[in-house]
Amino acid sequence: MAPTSPAPSGWVLPPEEAERVYAVVDEARRAGIAAARPGVPCESVDRAARAVIEQAGYGAAFLHRTGHGVGLEIHEPPYMVGGNATPLATGNVHSVEPGIYLAGRFGVRLEDLVAIEAGGARRLNDAPFAPRAPAGPRMTVETRAVAHGSEAILEDLNQRQREAVTHGEGPLLIVAGAGTGKTQVITRRIAWLIAEKRARPDEILALTFTEKAAAEMESRVDDAGALRLYRRHHRHVPRVRRPPGAELRHRAGHHHPPARVCTEAEVRVFLREHLFDLGLQRFAPLGQPDRHLAALVKLFSRARDEDVSPEEYLAYAERLSREAQD
């Protein structure tokens, strides 16, 4: 249970409404688990959980899908989301995590991991879901960083790492190889800037190239008592580098939908929903037609990183085809 906006010292949840929202989310969680069994479409799990929240009058406050598969990736198919008719199969492991988020007030999300077995869904975690009373004043991002202290933040760093973390004014470029502690230096610097009151959390932006790196950085910064502000490179940079002409074309009457950079999970869901529109042959085996989607997503991501346009990639593929025929 967490606030959805900054809260003053001594903040306490409104007990009656908080308990009611918690109870609704808990009931939705249970409904989602009860609906999950072999052969049931993934959308049915989402529908079961969502129906509970909608009946309680909070439908518009349930902002995301009910769950996702967990395996080699932390977010992978099957996705418990409306429109996904993929049937659950014995051996699937997925989350059930409904939530209600009241803007400017508070939000509640409860999450279980379940394994699909012949008799239904078995919970893999056994944590009791009982709301706890507020523990007292909510510690802010700033007080958490300060509580760690600047010296504690610099512990275990070598001299060059300390110099990077405590760098003064102006830009700083760090060039280092794999395994040399780059992420550690960046996260410690963020915590140090906040602890030294040189910057507020909302004045700091950290960019990474992958979701995995972003998750790792977020975890390390949080452990250091700092902030939770992250933007993946592909999500943030288009907003920075989008040419002004895009706005001019829109105003001139060319109403093309604005470009939107999706997460890897969203791309996978999109490809799965349009699988038979892709024209795949060799890479769409009948026994498991979505088998190669993960590889396609990685290919798209690599092409995007290398700034390879669709036209350039098509020309490259056609050239390879011609050479193979020769």
When the pLDDT of each residue in the chain is averaged and rounded to a whole number, the result is: 76
How far apart CA 42 and CA 35 sit, in angstroms, is: 9
Q: Which residues of 68-99 are buried (b: 16+ CB within 10 A; e: fewer)?
A: bbbeeeebbbbbbbeebebebeeebbbbbbbb
Q: What's the average model confidence in pLDDT over 4-24?
A: 66
* Confidence grade of residue 227 (pLDDT, cut at 50, 70, 90): very low
Mean predicted confidence (pLDDT) in 212-222: 64
DSSP assignment string, 185-220: HHHHHHHHHHHTTSS-GGG--EEESSHHHHHHHHHH
Q: Tell me the β-bridge partners of 232.
A: 208
Would you give the DSSP letter of residue 120?
E
Instruction: Tell me how far apart the alpha carbons of residues 216 and 306 are, in angstroms, rounded to a whole number.
Output: 23
Digit-coded pLDDT (tens) for 41-97 = 999 999 999 999 999 999 999 999 999 999 888 889 999 999 999 999 999 999 999
pLDDT band, very low/low/confident/very high, at 37 (cuts 50, 70, 90): very high
> DSSP strand E in 33-178: where?
67-69, 76-80, 93-96, 99-102, 106-109, 112-117, 120-123
Instruction: Give the confidence band of 135 by pLDDT, cuts at 50, 70, 90.
Output: very low
Residue type, 17: E
One-character DSSP codes across 121-134? EEES------PPPP
Q: pLDDT value at position 190?
A: 84
pLDDT at 88: 95
Query: What pLDDT is stored for residue 220 in this prediction?
Result: 62
Greatest mean pLDDT range, 20-24, 73-77, 223-227, 258-262: 20-24
pLDDT of residue 298: 83
Higher pLDDT, residue 321 or 51 = 51
The pLDDT score that the predictor gives to residue 152 is 75
**pLDDT digits 0-9 by tens, 272-297:** 888 778 777 666 666 676 777 888 88
- Distance from C-alpha of 95 to C-alpha of 29, rounded to nearest angstrom: 10
Question: What is the pLDDT, as a whole number, of residue 175?
Answer: 83
Q: Which residues contact 245 (CB under 8 A, 6 or more apart)?
A: none
